[in-house]
Structure 1
Amino acid sequence: MSSIQPRAGGWLGVLLLVLGLACTRKDSPPPRALVHETYVWQRDWSPALGQAVAEAPSELGAFRVLARERSGPQRTPVDVAVDVEALARSGREVVAVMRVDGTAPLEGISLQEVATHARAWRARGVRVRGIELDHDCATGALAGYADWLARERAALGDLALSITALPTWSASPELSRLVSIPEGIVLQVHAVRAPTLFTPEEARGFVESWSRATGRPFLVALPTYRVRLRDGTRLYAEPREVARFLAGLREHPVEGVTGILWFRLGHGGDPDAWSLSTLTAVVRGEPLAPRFVPRLVDAGGGTLDIVLENTGRVDAEAPASLSLSGNLEVLDGVGGYAPRGTSLVARTPPRLRVGERRVIGFVRGTEVTLAAP
């Protein structure tokens, strides 16, 4: 029986290749974790907002705080009465933001307007990192915007500058010069094309196109809010859809994406933004299954209120129907629910934030029970 003896050089080559691959895997750094920051965009600093700043999840490394606005035909400057003490107590880094309406010309406007706020906050103990300009400049006007930005940047000293950017800028020949001026770029991928607020697929396309066009690090701004259009249509950033985009970004990173900026930090008095619980769950990649608990609460006079409570971890749309059993004498609904036989049915179920309770009807009868939704 003949045997085939492999050449020593062949075995040696295979061994070196295996060792080389092992060393490559060992020495290659793992993908960097995405940083998370949030916008504090409310114009009314209520106690509830101050509490949200104090209780924001630890993953949010910095707050980007609206400090000054210029909008409308007159470009009248408006300063936000920020709770500077709340920012200082938070101990987090802060970026002071000035918003300039996209239709407003930049002549007569200076970044020193917001830099003054930033320096004042720093003097009062806030860990100010820099400033940001939120200006939805028309793509055709980017050349002038870059000229203005370069002049303004030169006078900021040690304050880092970041700007928000639109995906529609990706095809502009002025883009390379523009993005080379600030230290940071925030790409907005929500509310870009009416009437859509956010879809994971569209956002992924925006991010990939921007990455190819610039080749520079950037943050991605994701939505946590709902908005009503002029025709009454409500658009909502569904937590599961945003989480799906985020999971895809973690599993298949895009070159240049260094982190996420959440718009905006919600609080108990802001029903159009996610609750802190929902934001925390999405940031941490936790399960987002809703949980609603129906209850019958004695309202006196033989009447029972039908109460629905969101006891889960995520803001969600309430059940479209609830069923009752027993000897029902009177059954009626409120808040969009109406009786249908022994059930309460809503054509457009309400959205309940985490911890929110809502009376959706009332009932009179004996041995009345509610079925879990």
Structure 2
Amino acid sequence: MWFFVRLSALLAAALLLNACEQPVAPPLDQQLYVWQRQWTPAHEAALRDSRAGFSTLRVLALQAFPQEGWRRARIDSALLKQDGRPLIAVIRLDGQLPSLDKQQIIGQIQQVLADWQTQGLTVSGVEIDHDAGNARLPDYRTFLSQLRAELPSALPLSITALPAWLGSAQLPELLASVDSSVLQVHAISDPRRGLFDAKQAKQWAEAWSRVTTKPFYLALPAYGVALLPGASGAPVVESEVPVERVGKRRELLADPLQLSQLGAELRDDPPKHLAGLIWFRLPLAGDRRAWSLSTLNAVARGDALQTRLSLQFAEQNGLYDIAISNQGNLDSPWPERLTLAVKDCDGADALAGYALQQTPDLLTFTRLQDGRIAAGGQRAIGWARCAHIDQGGSHVYP
């Protein structure tokens, strides 16, 4: 009898253990938008340094504008061939287009795909980016069904989608006409709320997972914009392309710490059908409105983020070039103030962005405007001709 009692206890313990074990969710795929209309030599390093962390490139290929018509992105096909990652061609149809000329659009897409194939590129999918209003979703669905029938059956078709579509009864049919969707959860809907709201983004993702039966991705921001006063009262948004308009710019930047926390929550408890995250956009060296690639890589990996600012001096014959460096993995605002303990200085000055106050034994650099130091980067702030600068007695005040 004792044998059966013990066996029953062991079986009960095993069942309890199995009930407590949760299935391990697969890691979320990480992808990148490459959104520059004009490719530059900086793309080579950006692609190389992003290869380990991002599986797929979604590359802007073609845009349709209401007045300007069609514009192709000038990609570097040799770099894309060398990169070797799966490649999704993105076609942007401006939301202000008066209507969708279905045959013309399909013809333009087919021509782009043929041209890319001629250049030796293998396209792994097509994405349509069209910010249609809810009233136009039936016509958009008709276009997508027609496009799906014209594309090779093995070529996946995806769309960029808006949270506003959650209020449309047409959404399930729209999503059924494509293979996957990319929910864009970053926008300037209300400048008071900034560029991105993580709590709202998570709510949208949960709601989207209850509507779609197919894989979906979240498009997340790794960039900033400036808002300028508009003639109608609504702000004018300036991003990677400068806007010729006078007025004070209000800078908005997606917060890496906030996005990192959201990424951790999505990895731990992903909404149903969530396949991955797509970051907008691939940052190039000198892109002042994008995170550095170091920060983007760290956020995508889920690394702990930190800024490590320090003063750097380059001295030659008593002339010191003074710079601030960021040896962490998190981009940092310019520090508010820096103080240098000095002896016998007969000249000093600050560079643009800072002002200098000088006393016999102290140089104080005070920030005049906002700016950022990229992770792993540095910025010159001034110079001084002194007999001695005490590095141990010099300080950075964020």
Do both proteins adopt the same fold according to a TM-score greater than 0.5, normalized to the shorter chain?
Answer: yes
The aligned amino acid for 1:221 is: A
Worse-matched range after superposition: 212-221 or 241-250:
212-221
2:89 is matched with which residue? 96
The aligned amino acid for 2:199 is: E
Question: Measured at CA, do residues 218 and 295 of structure 1 come closer, stay the same or move farther in structure 2, by a change above 3 Å?
Answer: same
1:274 is matched with which residue? 291
1:21 is matched with which residue? 16
2:70 is matched with which residue? 77
Question: Measured at CA, do residues 10 and 173 of structure 1 come closer, stay the same or move farther in structure 2, by a change above 3 Å?
Answer: farther
* 1:350 is aligned to 2:371: yes
Deviation at 1:110, TM superposition (A): 1.7
Q: Contact 1:91–1:127 (CA<8 Å) still a contact in 2?
A: no
Deviations 1:102-141 (A, max 9, x none): 1112125423422332343345443311111111111222
2:49 is matched with which residue? 55
Over aligned residue pairs, what C-alpha RMSD do you find?
Answer: 2.5
Q: Contact 2:124–2:156 (CA<8 Å) still a contact in 1?
A: yes
Q: Secondary structure at the match of 1:154?
A: helix
Q: Contact 1:52–1:265 (CA<8 Å) still a contact in 2?
A: yes
Deviation at 1:256, TM superposition (A): 1.9
The aligned amino acid for 1:323 is: T
The aligned amino acid for 2:283 is: G
Deviations 1:131-179 (A, max 9, x none): 1111111122212211221122211123211100011111111100001
Runs of 4+ displaced beyond 4 Å = 6-15, 23-26, 328-331
The aligned amino acid for 2:326 is: N
Question: Measured at CA, do residues 136 and 348 of structure 1 come closer, stay the same or move farther in structure 2, by a change above 3 Å?
Answer: same
Deviation at 1:330, TM superposition (A): 4.6
* 1:34 is aligned to 2:28: yes
- Counterpart of 1:219 (choices 217, 220, 224) is 217
Q: Contact 1:330–1:365 (CA<8 Å) still a contact in 2?
A: yes
Q: Contact 1:96–1:114 (CA<8 Å) still a contact in 2?
A: no
Give me the whole-angstrom Cα distance separating, in 2, the residues matched to 1:111 and 1:192: 30
1:179 is matched with which residue? 175
Question: Measured at CA, do residues 111 and 160 of structure 1 come closer, stay the same or move farther in structure 2, by a change above 3 Å?
Answer: farther
- Counterpart of 2:356 (choices 331, 334, 339) is 339
Question: Measured at CA, do residues 10 and 192 of structure 1 come closer, stay the same or move farther in structure 2, by a change above 3 Å?
Answer: farther
The aligned amino acid for 1:115 is: Q
Q: Which runs of 5+ in 1 are unaligned?
A: 1-5
Give me the whole-angstrom Cα distance separating, in 1, the residues matched to 2:189 and 2:368: 28
2:147 is matched with which residue? 152
Q: Contact 2:179–2:215 (CA<8 Å) still a contact in 1?
A: no
Give me the whole-angstrom Cα distance separating, in 1, the residues matched to 2:109 and 2:316: 53
1:368 is matched with which residue? 389
Give me the whole-angstrom Cα distance separating, in 2, the residues matched to 1:345 and 1:179: 54
Question: Measured at CA, do residues 227 and 325 of structure 1 come closer, stay the same or move farther in structure 2, by a change above 3 Å?
Answer: same
* 1:203 is aligned to 2:201: yes
Deviations 1:10-69 (A, max 9, x none): 87765443322334567x641011011101111111111133223323231110111111
Give me the whole-angstrom Cα distance separating, in 1, the residues matched to 2:268 and 2:217: 17
Give me the whole-angstrom Cα distance separating, in 2, the residues matched to 1:233 and 1:41: 23
Deviation at 1:352, TM superposition (A): 1.2
Deviation at 1:226, TM superposition (A): 1.2
Q: Contact 1:92–1:127 (CA<8 Å) still a contact in 2?
A: no
1:3 is matched with which residue? none
Q: Contact 2:28–2:277 (CA<8 Å) still a contact in 1?
A: yes
The aligned amino acid for 1:78 is: R
The aligned amino acid for 1:366 is: A
Q: Contact 1:91–1:126 (CA<8 Å) still a contact in 2?
A: no
| Identity among equivalent pairs (%) | 35
Worse-matched range after superposition: 266-275 or 252-261:
266-275
Worse-matched range after superposition: 17-26 or 239-248:
17-26
| Count, aligned residues | 365
Give me the whole-angstrom Cα distance separating, in 2, the residues matched to 1:98 and 1:39: 12
Give me the whole-angstrom Cα distance separating, in 1, the residues matched to 2:25 and 2:219: 20
1:233 is matched with which residue? 250
Give me the whole-angstrom Cα distance separating, in 1, the residues matched to 2:291 and 2:321: 27
Worse-matched range after superposition: 310-319 or 334-343:
334-343
Give me the whole-angstrom Cα distance separating, in 2, the residues matched to 1:75 and 1:175: 30
Q: Secondary structure at the match of 1:177?
A: helix
- Counterpart of 1:106 (choices 96, 100, 119) is 100
Give me the whole-angstrom Cα distance separating, in 1, the residues matched to 2:7 and 2:319: 86
* 1:309 is aligned to 2:325: yes
Normalising to structure 2: TM-score of the pair?
A: 0.84
1:141 is matched with which residue? 136
Deviations 1:279-302 (A, max 9, x none): 2111111121112221233477x5
Give me the whole-angstrom Cα distance separating, in 1, the residues matched to 2:90 and 2:336: 41
Q: Which runs of 5+ in 2 are unaligned?
A: 230-248
1:250-329 to 2 correspondences below 5 Å: 250-298=267-315, 303-327=319-343, 328-329=345-346
